[in-house]
Structure 1
């Protein structure tokens, strides 16, 4: 029943906002990354490198988690409350989120608090971080007092509910694909495909309809 409600909600969002779905040009989308770079930098330093998977792999992961319940995951809209360095030596930071809404998954509820750890505290500017809204894929596997977060498939949310990936947009994605196809490129090891970039500039509703299992 809960899944049906979520699905119907996504459809309703789509119908109500169909006249305002994102139709940004490539340049406009690229400008989103520059405009909100200060809100995004810290997200590059979330661990779980294995979450650099494709769109199809993400949908498969969520589908399997929904079917067997063996993996506790949830897509949530959250608000950043604070960030605190773990130590003065740059050993990371703890970012505290207030869960505003759970779009998928049952291991969190609105009103919950989640704490994630970054690999360092670069970009931990409280003026930009505090009060910022994000769409995050969280794991309910708290370890040492914090939870896992799938950085590459998490996004900053603008006031208009547009998604912005911390890794850029379709421009960077095409550059990565081009570099990977060039056997003489010295940048291959640093440029890898992150298909989440293609959702920069998309609305939250579009993302839900394309990714969230029904």
Structure 2
């Protein structure tokens, strides 16, 4: 009887040892799996952060020049606003003979120049050599660019340049000037972009951001 009890006790002890050993192995496996998962998660996070940092790097804007003409001051205000946003160089075109300040007389002169296919003289035509992008600003007269913009395309060396036109108008969109600009740019070697109407500050900022021209 005593031998039987000893045998049972031995079996119970053996079972307990086996159970404890199994629990130990299971616990170690769970710990290992948890550590591996944590390590894997850290790598993904690190990679994600690195990717975000890489994405945050922005390409520096290429050398840019703002060339504009303003009669009433509206286009000048738009050009100076663009200059603040881009950090570009800026020059105001001087036209000879000068346009009258009186709007009624101005419209008559502008209409006559269109009818005569005139080429008003730009007395301070800028040197574009060091620039890659030209922001070309003008008021819209009679639903088209003024005739001195023809002069600009014909006399300035715009080959290899990206030309981004902008206009100021109470109602005329840039799309009205686009066909005239496309014709002017033909054969010059310039890349003419769609351009924008610069009366609205938010629209101007949005366009410049999409074009990669906003300064850092």
Q: Which has the higher strand share?
A: 1
TM-score class normalised by the smaller sequence: under 0.3
Q: Which has the higher helix share?
A: 2
Query: Rg larger in 1 or in 2?
Result: 2
Query: Could you tell me the TM-score, scaled by structure 1's length?
Result: 0.25
